Structure 1
Amino acid sequence: MQYRRFGKTNLNLSIFSLGTMRYLANSENVQQTIVKALELGINHIETARGYGKSEEYFGEAIKVGLSVPRSQLYITTKIPPSSDADSMRRYIDESLERLNLDYLDCLGIHGLNTWEHLEWVQAKGGCMKAVEEAINDGRVRHVGFSTHGVLEVIQAAINTDFFEFVNLHYYYFFQRNAPAIALAAEKDMGIFIISPADKGGKLYTPPQTLKDLCQPFSPLELNYRFLLSDQRITTLSVGPATPEELVEPLQFANSDCELTPAEISTFERLKKHQKTVLGTEQCSQCYACLPCPESINIPEVFRLRNLAVAYNMTDYGQYRYGMFENAGHWFPGMKANRCRECGDCLPRCPENLDIPTLLEDAHNRLNGKSGRRLWG
């Protein structure tokens, strides 16, 4: 296992972190998963107030005892933003009690996703007052934020200079947040990548088309290498439901060198294939089409369509598309069939895409079972 400095926190974290969103089965499973993670060299565990009984299960594991001293294990929990300090004070105390901890190494403001959330964070007497108190009395060592918000909100949150780290989405198949990565690195913030195997493309169950294009590598390996070759990124979340699910991703726990010529060539092959297959229907993700009067997240719909058409990543596309209209500010936007063909977006598209027609096609391809957040 390799370790990297988590920005200005100066914590040296394992390049894979144990995420606890999925290990909700029972406390015994949690104990076994944590033990396995520690055996494999993980020294950072991330949970959240909103992850079911995850904090409680972790607290039970602490009581039983772990194989490493507390001083060598870094714990992050995440708490949603609130408009008042009293709620945050209560949330911090409750999390510490459930986790059976005297202090948190890192507290993440969980889901700083909207401009309203940012206003709460910046307000005098708001939730950050309680966070500052907890830092001053030693209950919290470092503070950051997690986000599923738009790029502009993420950049604005980074520019508040309140935070020492950021948890965000960024993968080979989703590079929209590259400017946020650059800004966070410029400010010496720790950078934590959320769920690269799952949100990054369901790469643990890739379609045959994608597997063939990635040879001699696996799609999962390539995405990990894309991220870990970037020295600005500190750690990647791995979220096993069982201890056994740690084995495959942690094969790459030492794969943090620069991209090899063979890997670069494979990424070029993926890019060329997408361009060839999509032709004049490829969306380049410039976001000029927004805002949409019907609140359709056109670029994200087209990103999912790009992947479905080019790489047969339809299963992933349906999984994410099903979140529209079901996940609130965690995955905002209406489904593509809401398009009224008003034409507002057409003159703004530099590629002259027939956006209404492509939205209809995307909906037909991707509209499967509606989804929701696992813990929502």
Structure 2
Amino acid sequence: MIIDSQKRSFGKGEKVSLFTLGTMRATESLEKMYNIIKNAYSAGINHIETAPSYGNAESLIGNSLKKLAREENISEKNWVITTKVLPKGDFKFLKSNFKKSLKNLNLKRVNNLAIHGLNLKKHLDWVLAGDGKKFISWILEKELVDQVGFSSHGSYSLIKEAIDCEVFSFCSLHLHYLDQSKITLAEKAIKKGMGVLAISPADKGGRLFSPSNILIEASKPFHPLELAYRFLLAKGITTLSLGATHNKDFEFAEKLRNSSEKLTIHEKNALKKIEDVANERLNSTKCEQCRCCLPCPNEIPIPEILRLRNISIGYGQLEFSKERYNLIGKAGHWWEEKNSSFCQECNECVPKCPSKLDIPNLLKQTHSLLIETPTKRLWG
């Protein structure tokens, strides 16, 4: 028997579970997608997130949902579906590709459509005044979606502008326990009545499904990933994406399916211990992420790089930090473009830092610690 799970309002659309199934990692076969969606249902998940960019994910989802309805009596009406479009192309191209998405998903309409990767100012301009505006008007007028939102890997100021533009009803943001820089934006969106999805708090949030011994010891009696999930849910983040590849990936989603209450004293104590351990390991070299060092004359994303240093040294998540650092300059507008090697030691950042950090030296140390041959991105 399936025990119902808590649902939260997601903008103007259907309510969604506290966890969302991300489908980027389940595209190997119909059998894989079918089993992942079936297990998501058992874990209380009703929200599926996908995109045409995820290979054949949409068609696999469409076929899996039909199979689940036929073989398991799990109605297709149980699901809330979010798909995406990239912020480019003319009106004709956008219409054609969206119709392909509906066909692949075996749907006449979809619950939510996100502008996928609203990362640059020109992307938002495309939405507000270009063919994106025309497309959004058409898709809403034809009632082919309940609502339109966006996902973004962009700057704080760009995301704020997108939240304030009154076009979008939900947003997907990088909201992580180990990177809280966008939490205030999420709170702003929630206050406006928007739905907020946290992008990959397990993987891009620090690869917390594979925690260091430092994190494991500091977070006892909890698992670090469980605490990271609870931190976000207690903040009121609507739903957390879970890019499952195996049945065991649903362990905490099932355990926390109704866990939106405020943090308990035991959870707070564990989180404090994690921070105490990290502070002790970083000592006086911790970057507080205040961003006072910006702008850098050489356009180095100093806070992002020193955040990776914090994570690798303070929390022991070295492999995650290496992966992210070595994607700099190799992922287009989806990630930062310049690493520490671009520092010319002009020292303009040093007097701006409230913590009086020797930033040029820390950047050099971080480069030596993290640089290696980059790995291929999952998609794109």
Q: Which residue of 1 aligns with 2:21?
A: 18
In the TM superposition, 1:254-269 aligns within 5 A as: 254-269=258-273
Gaps of 5+ in 2: none
Q: Which residue of 1 aligns with 2:355?
A: 351
- Once the 2 structures are TM-superposed, how far is the Cα of residue 90 of structure 1 from its aligned partner? 2.0
Q: Which residue of 1 aligns with 2:250?
A: 246
Task: Specify whether residues 323 and 35 from structure 1 end up closer, same or farther in structure 2 by C-alpha distance, changes over 3 A only.
Answer: same
- Once the 2 structures are TM-superposed, how far is the Cα of residue 24 of structure 1 from its aligned partner? 1.5
Moved more, 68-77 or 165-174: 68-77
CA distance in 2, matches of 1:187, 1:249: 27
Q: Which letter maps to 1:155?
A: K
Report the identity percentage. Answer: 39
User: Residue 38 of structure 2 contacts residue 68 of structure 2 at CA under 8 Å; is this kept in 1?
Assistant: no
Q: Deviations over 1:35-58 (max 9, x none)?
A: 221222211101011111111211
1:79 aligns with 2:85: yes
User: Residue 43 of structure 2 contacts residue 253 of structure 2 at CA under 8 Å; is this kept in 1?
Assistant: no
1:139 aligns with 2:157: no
In the TM superposition, 1:1-376 aligns within 5 A as: 2-66=5-69, 67-82=73-88, 84-123=90-129, 125-231=130-236, 233-376=237-380
CA distance in 1, matches of 2:13, 2:66: 28
- Once the 2 structures are TM-superposed, how far is the Cα of residue 203 of structure 1 from its aligned partner? 0.6
CA distance in 2, matches of 1:68, 1:332: 42
Q: Deviations over 1:129-171 (max 9, x none)?
A: 1122112112111111111111111100000010110111111
Task: Specify whether residues 247 and 217 from structure 1 end up closer, same or farther in structure 2 by C-alpha distance, changes over 3 A only.
Answer: closer
- Once the 2 structures are TM-superposed, how far is the Cα of residue 18 of structure 1 from its aligned partner? 0.7
Q: Which letter maps to 1:255?
A: S
CA distance in 1, matches of 2:288, 2:11: 34
User: Residue 14 of structure 1 contacts residue 43 of structure 1 at CA under 8 Å; is this kept in 2?
Assistant: yes
User: Residue 293 of structure 2 contacts residue 302 of structure 2 at CA under 8 Å; is this kept in 1?
Assistant: yes
Secondary structure at the residue paired with 1:255?
coil
Task: Specify whether residues 252 and 7 from structure 1 end up closer, same or farther in structure 2 by C-alpha distance, changes over 3 A only.
Answer: closer
CA distance in 2, matches of 1:260, 1:369: 42
CA distance in 2, matches of 1:35, 1:268: 37
User: Residue 5 of structure 1 contacts residue 234 of structure 1 at CA under 8 Å; is this kept in 2?
Assistant: yes
CA distance in 2, matches of 1:337, 1:253: 44
- Once the 2 structures are TM-superposed, how far is the Cα of residue 100 of structure 1 from its aligned partner? 1.5
Q: Which letter maps to 2:309?
A: R
Q: Which letter maps to 1:23?
A: A
Moved more, 31-40 or 212-221: 31-40
CA distance in 2, matches of 1:328, 1:6: 33
Number of residue equivalences: 374
CA distance in 1, matches of 2:375, 2:127: 29
CA distance in 1, matches of 2:209, 2:367: 25
Secondary structure at the residue paired with 1:280?
helix
CA distance in 2, matches of 1:234, 1:20: 18
User: Residue 145 of structure 1 contacts residue 165 of structure 1 at CA under 8 Å; is this kept in 2?
Assistant: yes
User: Residue 326 of structure 1 contacts residue 371 of structure 1 at CA under 8 Å; is this kept in 2?
Assistant: no
Q: Which letter maps to 1:241?
A: T
CA RMSD, 1 decimal: 1.6
User: Residue 197 of structure 2 contacts residue 240 of structure 2 at CA under 8 Å; is this kept in 1?
Assistant: yes
Q: Which letter maps to 1:311?
A: Y
CA distance in 2, matches of 1:134, 1:211: 47
Moved more, 360-369 or 144-153: 360-369
User: Residue 33 of structure 1 contacts residue 242 of structure 1 at CA under 8 Å; is this kept in 2?
Assistant: yes
- Once the 2 structures are TM-superposed, how far is the Cα of residue 11 of structure 1 from its aligned partner? 1.7
User: Residue 88 of structure 1 contacts residue 131 of structure 1 at CA under 8 Å; is this kept in 2?
Assistant: no
Q: Which letter maps to 1:107?
A: L
Secondary structure at the residue paired with 1:143?
strand
User: Residue 9 of structure 2 contacts residue 15 of structure 2 at CA under 8 Å; is this kept in 1?
Assistant: yes
TM-score when normalising by structure 1: 0.95
Q: Deviations over 1:185-231 (max 9, x none)?
A: 12100011111111111111101011001111110110011011123
Q: Which letter maps to 2:85?
A: I
Q: Which letter maps to 1:47?
A: T
User: Residue 106 of structure 1 contacts residue 143 of structure 1 at CA under 8 Å; is this kept in 2?
Assistant: yes
User: Residue 89 of structure 1 contacts residue 131 of structure 1 at CA under 8 Å; is this kept in 2?
Assistant: no
Q: Which letter maps to 1:275?
A: N
Gaps of 5+ in 1: none
Q: Deviations over 1:57-87 (max 9, x none)?
A: 1122234343432332111001111253233
CA distance in 1, matches of 2:13, 2:31: 32
